[in-house]
Amino acid sequence: MNSELHEGPLTPVAHAAPPPPQKLTRREERRRRRRSRRRGEELLAWVLVPIICLGIYWGITAGFDFLGTSPGQVWDQLMQVKAMMEKRA
């Protein structure tokens, strides 16, 4: 057996407290806030822009369905109006 087993209890060692974290300067705090805000805005944009585009598309499609027409028919009617205006001039 090992003789270290019978040496007695260990004495507590005083551990030095870890140094407190350095406080950031105002400029560094502002940089960190700005960086996190930009990341958040970028993520929000990647989510919201497609949702807005789909919403506009669905709104236009629903409007055409409600009016009982289609974009092709509206375009044809606009071209007829343009032709009539050109004849008048």
21: Cα separation from own chain's centroid? 31
Report how far residue 75's alpha carbon sits from residue 82's, in angstroms, rounded to the nearest whole number: 10
Ranking 3-7, 38-42, 52-56, 60-64 by mean pLDDT, the lowest is 3-7
3-state secondary structure (DSSP) of residue 8: coil
pLDDT tens, residue by residue, 71-87: 999 999 999 999 999 99
pTM of the model: 0.56
